[in-house]
Amino acid sequence: MFCASPRRRLSRADRSSPLLNKLGCTLAAFVVQSKQFPVARNNCAKTVAVHVAARCALDWKVRCDGKRRRPESLLIMSEESVTDDLEVTKNTPPVATIAEIGRHEGQSVTLRGWLYNSRESGKLLFPIFRDGTGSIQGVAHVKSVTPEVFEKLKGLTQESSVIVTGKVRADKRAPGGYELDVEDVHVVQRVPESDPYPITLKEHGVDFLQERRHLWVRSPRQSAILRIRAEIMRAAAEYFDSNGFIRTDPPILTPAACEGTSTLFPVDYFGDPAYLTQSGQLYIESTALALGKVYSFGPTFRAEKSKTRRHLTEFWMIEPEVAYMDLDGLMELAENFITHVIESVLKNRAPELHVIGRDAAKLEAIKAPFPKLRYDEAAEMLNQAYKDGKLEAPFEYGNDFGSPDETWLSSQYDRPVMVHRYPANVKAFYMDPDAKDPRYALCVDVLAPEGYGEIIGGSQRVSSYELLSSRIDQHKLPRAAFEWYLDLRRYGSVPHSGFGMGIERLVAWVCALDHVRETIPFPRMLNRMYP
RNA sequence: UCUUCAGUAGCUCAAUGGCAGAGCAUUCGGCUGUUAACCGAAGGGUUGUAGGUUCGAGUCCUACCUGAGGAGCCA
């Protein structure tokens, strides 16, 4: 058996191959011509047969059964094995995914997956299978399958890996709408009773689950969250890619602090000190002045000893940076960007939102423009809230907002709220002062609704060499390490702006999770490095 | 760094200072439509660690360890 790389187009002759009919499966059998396996037009079944599995992923568009399909894998059987394998192919129903099982109603299919759970009622077995795309309940009656299959299924343990064949049947009682009447089962690996799968369908504590994160990701809820995360990352990159941005990723190993504030992870770089990046911002300011509109997308590291539901020590950030963009342009960019990501999740991950019990109506309300508040206005609201007894601590004008302040502010709106023009002295050294009143910085924080706090922080950057130079001195930053950054103001400096968005906080909000640890496959936290 | 809470069976949790318990999981038995199935039975314990108070400590006290939430800081 050979694996073929699916680069060729199918010819008309392939599509009308008699093999399709011969094999009698809707999705899957083709004859392919190639130099490696020359075939005669009308005699191809004897030389090379290609079985295109029904699951999908590759870039082929195959026409069969009147519909376009995207086959996932294909096996080319050698000349010698054609006869035998054709028999096998005849007898093995096409591989299907549970997510798309409805296309096979009334037909026999092969599922490759795991046993999620098993119930039994006397002579009736109800094994529930999952395959990564979803789950489906199988039904096996002692009289409907061979005794061998019945016994195999009866003693099967949770999370054993199985290849199961059966007939798809629509059933009103089934949560997914379909059930599988089991015909045959092949147990790939059986989990032993003596050491059963640790994560049962009952409740578990946070610590227990986190110690077993490598298994926890199999649970329906965690899988759904990771699917939503993937969609958020895809849609985020898509927004910038399709709006003229060039992705330029900054280094992860850096010689010095980017912002001079956060705590960094030191690493030994051939005997010299180096640090894991806490932000790519300074570097993409450079590429923005080279390419105009750029973004970066990658992991960042903060060694702060924060243990809250909003913090990870390793998290992913997407950061756009645009030459000649001012703060107003940046705020518009941020709201359009978030709107696009939310729309994509609603469009492409509705089933997953349902699995995790997320109220989609709350996300449907997320449309640009977002409410915008000056820092002063927000401060006034917080003072009033304190007077009304809605906040425990009074807000001190001139400070940055605390977590309870952010939570209260964001809970006042049904969409993200943008707070801009903070006092310059509580913000980073690279933020441009407002020309109308230099006590304020041209910066913006985007606070997610429902109390999820800051998801975006951005600003217009200082473009004056003199100002930046004096700021670096004021903040007592190591000047030598910032010479290259000052060069950006020596040579063709322009106003420019950018923001950073933390992926995990966005995922936590979109999924309405209690904690960011569930938003990333393997969270890294203050007290957690395993697995 | 500060602060609050928690640690008992594989898991989730009970137990007034007085015999160490339940549900789930595992094993065995029963059930022809179960939805975290159900019913019956069995096995399963150095109560985080080290001290202390007490006739007697899972329970009270001290220290430490581990975990969780919050503050600060941040995305």
Domain identity same for A291 and A247: yes
**A180 and A138 in one domain?**
yes
Bridge partner residues of A443 (DSSP): A459
User: CA of A308 vs C1' of B53, distance in Å?
Assistant: 38
What is the C-alpha to C-alpha distance for residues A297 and A301, in angstroms, rounded to an integer? 13
Among A71, A91, A111, give the residue marking a domain's end. A91
b vs e for A161-180, b when ≥16 Cβ sit within 10 Å of the residue's Cβ? ebbbbbbbeeeeeeeeebbb
Task: Specify the amino acid at residue A354.
Answer: H
- Which nucleotides in chain B lie less than 7 Å from some protein C-beta? 1-2, 10-13, 23-27, 30-38, 66-75
Would you give the distance in Å from CA A118 to the centre of its chain? Answer: 30
What is the spatial distance, in angstroms and rounded to an integer, between the CA atom of A130 and the C1' atom of B32?
A: 24
Q: A194 CA to B27 C1', in Å?
A: 10
> From the C1' of B37, which residue's alpha carbon is nearest?
A119
Length of chain A: 531
Q: How far is the CA of A196 from the C1' of B26 (A)?
A: 8
* Closest C-alpha to A519, from A455, A457, A446, A444: A455
Quote the domain boundaries for residue A397.
220-519
**Whether A125 and A266 share a structural domain:** no
Beta strands in A55-189 (DSSP E): 62-64, 67-69, 74-77, 108-121, 124-130, 135-141, 161-170, 178-189
A456 closest-nt by C1' vs CA: B75
Q: What is the DSSP letter of A45?
A: H
Q: Which of A31, A61, A91 is the last residue of a domain?
A: A91
What CATH number does residue A136 fall under?
2.40.50.140
Are A63 and A133 part of one and the same domain? no
Q: What pLDDT is recorded for position A260?
A: 54
- Residue environment code for A88-112, b if the CB has 16+ CB neighbours within 10 A, otherwise e: ebeebbbbbbbeebebbeebbbbbb
Task: Give the ipTM.
Answer: 0.91
pLDDT tens across the length of chain A (531 residues): 223 333 333 333 344 443 333 333 322 333 332 323 333 232 333 233 343 332 222 223 333 333 333 333 333 333 333 333 333 344 678 999 999 999 999 999 999 999 999 999 889 999 999 999 999 999 999 999 999 999 999 889 999 999 999 999 999 989 889 999 999 999 999 999 888 999 999 889 899 999 999 999 999 999 999 999 999 999 999 999 999 999 999 999 998 755 555 688 888 999 988 899 988 999 999 999 999 999 999 999 998 888 888 999 999 999 999 999 999 999 999 999 999 999 999 999 999 999 999 999 999 999 989 999 999 999 999 999 888 888 888 888 888 898 889 999 998 998 999 999 999 989 999 999 999 999 999 999 999 988 788 999 999 999 999 999 999 998 888 888 899 999 999 999 999 999 999 999 999 999 999 899 999 999 999 888 888
Query: B45 C1' – A185 CA distance, angstroms?
Result: 40
Residue A235: both structure tokens together = 């849609």
Q: Are A102 and A178 in contact (CB under 8 A)?
A: yes
The reply to whether A45 and A12 lie within a common domain is yes
- Structural domain count, chain A: 3
What's the pLDDT tens digit per position in A69-92? Answer: 333 333 333 333 333 333 334 467
Å between A56 CA and B34 C1'?
32
pLDDT tens by residue, A351-403: 999 999 999 999 999 998 999 999 999 999 999 988 888 888 888 888 889 88
The CB density around residue A439, as the number of other CB atoms within 10 Å, is 11
Written as six digits, the tokens of A279 are 């932000």
A440 and A333 in a single domain? The answer is: yes
Residues A46 and A120 in one domain: no
The CA–CA distances, whole Å, from A360 to A300, A343, A349, A366 equal 30, 11, 10, 10
Considering the domain architecture, whether residues A105 and A40 belong to the same structural domain is answered as no
Specify if A487 maps to a domain.
yes
* In a shared domain, residues A293 and A260: yes
Residue A38 and residue A102 in one domain = no
* C-alpha distances in Å from residue A178, one per residue of A75, A138, A168, A171, A419: 29, 9, 7, 5, 49
* CA–C1' nearest nucleotide, residue A393: B71
Q: What percent of chain A has pLDDT over 70?
A: 82
